[in-house]
Amino acid sequence: MIRFILAMSSSRFASGASQREPFIAVAAFLSISSPAELICPEVRADFQHLRRWRKSVEQAQSYTFKAVITVIATGLMGAVWLA
Protein backbone atom coordinates (compact mmCIF):
# COMPACT_ATOMS: atom_id res chain seq x y z
CA MET A 1 0.00 0.00 0.00
CA ILE A 2 2.78 2.42 0.94
CA ARG A 3 4.78 1.56 -2.16
CA PHE A 4 1.66 2.09 -4.28
CA ILE A 5 1.09 5.55 -2.82
CA LEU A 6 4.70 6.57 -3.35
CA ALA A 7 4.71 5.16 -6.90
CA MET A 8 1.47 6.95 -7.69
CA SER A 9 2.85 10.23 -6.36
CA SER A 10 6.06 9.92 -8.35
CA SER A 11 4.28 9.08 -11.60
CA ARG A 12 1.53 11.65 -11.22
CA PHE A 13 3.60 14.56 -9.94
CA ALA A 14 6.98 14.17 -11.57
CA SER A 15 7.30 17.95 -11.93
CA GLY A 16 7.81 19.05 -8.32
CA ALA A 17 8.65 17.63 -4.94
CA SER A 18 6.31 20.03 -3.13
CA GLN A 19 3.33 18.37 -4.78
CA ARG A 20 4.50 14.95 -3.54
CA GLU A 21 4.69 15.99 0.11
CA PRO A 22 1.07 15.06 0.98
CA PHE A 23 1.60 11.58 -0.45
CA ILE A 24 4.81 11.17 1.51
CA ALA A 25 3.00 12.25 4.68
CA VAL A 26 0.23 9.70 4.05
CA ALA A 27 2.80 6.98 3.42
CA ALA A 28 4.64 7.89 6.63
CA PHE A 29 1.37 7.80 8.57
CA LEU A 30 0.46 4.39 7.16
CA SER A 31 3.88 3.02 8.08
CA ILE A 32 3.23 3.63 11.79
CA SER A 33 2.61 0.28 13.44
CA SER A 34 0.78 1.45 16.58
CA PRO A 35 -1.03 4.55 17.84
CA ALA A 36 1.51 4.85 20.66
CA GLU A 37 4.10 5.94 18.10
CA LEU A 38 2.01 9.02 17.33
CA ILE A 39 2.46 10.37 20.85
CA CYS A 40 5.74 12.12 21.52
CA PRO A 41 7.72 11.11 24.63
CA GLU A 42 6.84 14.32 26.51
CA VAL A 43 3.11 13.74 26.13
CA ARG A 44 3.51 10.08 27.08
CA ALA A 45 5.42 11.13 30.22
CA ASP A 46 2.64 13.59 31.08
CA PHE A 47 0.00 10.87 30.74
CA GLN A 48 2.05 8.51 32.92
CA HIS A 49 2.38 11.23 35.57
CA LEU A 50 -1.38 11.89 35.47
CA ARG A 51 -2.09 8.16 35.77
CA ARG A 52 0.17 7.87 38.84
CA TRP A 53 -1.43 10.99 40.36
CA ARG A 54 -4.95 9.65 39.76
CA LYS A 55 -4.09 6.31 41.36
CA SER A 56 -2.57 8.03 44.40
CA VAL A 57 -5.69 10.21 44.77
CA GLU A 58 -7.92 7.13 44.56
CA GLN A 59 -5.79 5.40 47.19
CA ALA A 60 -5.95 8.45 49.49
CA GLN A 61 -9.74 8.54 49.11
CA SER A 62 -9.90 4.86 50.01
CA TYR A 63 -7.80 5.39 53.13
CA THR A 64 -9.90 8.43 54.09
CA PHE A 65 -13.09 6.40 53.76
CA LYS A 66 -11.64 3.61 55.91
CA ALA A 67 -10.50 6.10 58.54
CA VAL A 68 -13.95 7.74 58.71
CA ILE A 69 -15.64 4.36 59.11
CA THR A 70 -13.15 3.41 61.85
CA VAL A 71 -13.77 6.67 63.76
CA ILE A 72 -17.55 6.24 63.53
CA ALA A 73 -17.38 2.60 64.64
CA THR A 74 -15.05 3.48 67.53
CA GLY A 75 -17.39 6.28 68.62
CA LEU A 76 -20.42 4.02 68.52
CA MET A 77 -18.63 1.30 70.51
CA GLY A 78 -17.48 3.89 73.07
CA ALA A 79 -21.02 5.25 73.40
CA VAL A 80 -22.41 1.74 73.91
CA TRP A 81 -19.70 0.93 76.44
CA LEU A 82 -20.30 4.13 78.46
CA ALA A 83 -24.09 3.95 78.31
Does 49 share its domain with 25?
A: no
Does 83 share its domain with 52?
A: yes
pLDDT attached to residue 45: 87
pLDDT in tens, 64-76: 999 999 999 999 9
Does 43 share its domain with 14?
A: no
Does 47 share its domain with 23?
A: no
pLDDT attached to residue 47: 87
Q: Which residues of 46-69 are buried (b: 16+ CB within 10 A; e: fewer)?
A: eeeeeeeeeeeeeeeeeeeeeeee
Q: Which residue segment(s) compose the domain that 60 sits in?
A: 39-83
Number of structural domains (the chain) is: 2
